[in-house]
Structure 1
Amino acid sequence: MKPTRFETAIALIDKKNAEDINTYYVCGMSYPKELLYSQRMTRTLLQFKPNASRAVQIAARAQHICRWKIPRDEYPMDRVGYLKWRETLKKMHAEITSDILKQVGYDAQYITRVSHLINKKLIKKNEEAQLLEDVICLVFLNYYFEEFAAKHEDEKVIDILKKTWVKMSEEGHKAALELKLSENSLTLVKSAISEIKP
């Protein structure tokens, strides 16, 4: 049976991410870092919102496509440099994904829709953009937060958590508090929430 264009698009995104030169170890197994991240995005999205549109599923899978090609250290190691790096990455992710979607036969309107999601346009105003943001935050908290917290002072960790929390919807907050976090991580999350002004 011939694969659908959606299945082909996902396979091509995975093929790109499988080229990642960076690896991530899970249970003694080595994975290309961004391939693993993209699969975690899909898994979390479908657990959180099983009926998510194909457009959101593609945007989630391609969220970090080829991220390693623009290293962080190519930009100044300050907040301005960080924001410029993130903007450049989003543009690249959207362009690579758009090329893939065009290749498999999606129309311009659909490609624009996915590009806007990857570029995080209209968060808080667009339901699909908010859904994607919730999933990004949930993946961070579930898979990467413990490692991040271990490397930084509590003050910085709480600041990052506060910024993460305000990006999420109420539904996202509920899902986050149901994650199996360590006691220390949960304490940090609750400290961050308590500092957010209503």
Structure 2
Amino acid sequence: MTPDPPAQRPQLEKAIALIDEVNAQDPTKVPTDSGSEPYRLAYSRWLTEWVKRLDPKASDELLILARGKSIESWQLSLIKRDDYAPNTPGMRQWEMDRKKWLANRLLAVVKEAGYDEATQTLIENIMMGKNLPDPRDVRKYDLIGNLGMVDFKKLQAVNMMQTLDDAEALLFLEKNFEEMFNRMPADEVAAVCKRELSRLSQNGIVTVLKQRWSPVQQRLLQKVLPVPGKFASIMMDVEGVSAASTHPGDWRYANFDYE
């Protein structure tokens, strides 16, 4: 079922308003068209806009994640790395605690907006990466549930994760690429872009190449874009061609030569 437009979803409107209210307290400011804004407030709005462009039928959960995945994240500085063991397990626990703090902060807002437990669980699983395969390394059997049936809830969650990855990469290019290109040596720009764009899907790659770049910028991007993952073909296998023609990968671009 196609979700109602955001303007007709009162719970979503309440959740977005609550998130924006929190992020408006960000002490870090960034320049915007209207002057300056709190950084997380502006970033979450920009990310939401990219998600809507990539998925015009985005669900409430996806839009809440776009708006709230960095909610009040300036407080993460209070979770100090020095308070954990100076080894790999300590690093992992520190990273997990930071993820958990953000997830709990967003879940409090989602609950206040009146969403049910199923919605809260889906958002928590995506925020924590809990019980979900990496979209860049997903395999068909990762999406198969009991009795050999497709686990559509897991498929939906992985799809949302990939949409968010694409939106973040595209937002990075929109806000940072041209300034970096004019300021930094080409090899340094390429290294940063390769890292930031590493999780793009086929659809994300196509979207990047459709943007207006100078010939030199275009050549640099073509060198650093990742090899598309197999999620699009897996979607086609488990759901059929009609599902595979939606984000994050379009089966029509299966043999797309981005070089």
**How far, CA to CA, are the matches of 1:151 and 1:75 in structure 2?**
32
Partner of 1:159: 191
Q: 1:75 to 1:148 in 2, by over 3 A?
A: farther
Partner of 1:36: 42
Amino acid at match of 2:14: T
Amino acid at match of 1:98: L
Residue 77 (structure 2) pairs with residue 71 (structure 1): yes
Amino acid at match of 2:67: R
Q: 1:147 to 1:115 in 2, by over 3 A?
A: farther
Partner of 2:58: 52
Q: Which one has a bigger Cα radius of gyration?
A: 2
Question: Which residue, out of 172, 192, 197, partners 2:224?
Answer: 192
Partner of 1:106: 115
Question: Which residue, out of 211, 216, 235, partners 1:179?
Answer: 211
Question: Which residue, out of 123, 129, 138, partners 2:134?
Answer: 123
**How far, CA to CA, are the matches of 2:196 and 2:94 in structure 1?**
18
**How far, CA to CA, are the matches of 1:61 and 1:197 in structure 2?**
26
Question: Which residue, out of 114, 139, 153, partners 2:171?
Answer: 139
Post-superposition shift, 1:16?
Answer: 0.6
* Greater RCO, CA 8 A, separation 6+: 1
- Name the SS for the 2:211 alignment partner: coil
Q: 1:135 to 1:197 in 2, by over 3 A?
A: closer
**How far, CA to CA, are the matches of 1:9 and 1:27 in structure 2?**
25
Amino acid at match of 1:169: S
Q: What is the aligned residue count?
A: 193
**How far, CA to CA, are the matches of 1:69 and 1:145 in structure 2?**
27
Post-superposition shift, 1:108?
Answer: 2.0
Post-superposition shift, 1:48?
Answer: 1.6
**How far, CA to CA, are the matches of 2:65 and 2:224 in structure 1?**
29
Residues 39-91 of structure 1, C-alpha deviations (whole Å, 9 max, x = no match): 00111111121011111000000121112112399548xxx799877654432
**How far, CA to CA, are the matches of 2:171 and 2:162 in structure 1?**
14
Partner of 1:169: 201
- Name the SS for the 1:19 alignment partner: coil
Alignment RMSD = 3.3
**How far, CA to CA, are the matches of 1:83 and 1:186 in structure 2?**
37
Partner of 2:24: 18
TM-score by length of 1: 0.80
**How far, CA to CA, are the matches of 1:166 and 1:173 in structure 2?**
10
TM-score by length of 2: 0.63
- Name the SS for the 1:70 alignment partner: helix
- In structure 1, runs of 5+ residues without a counterpart are none
- Name the SS for the 1:122 alignment partner: coil
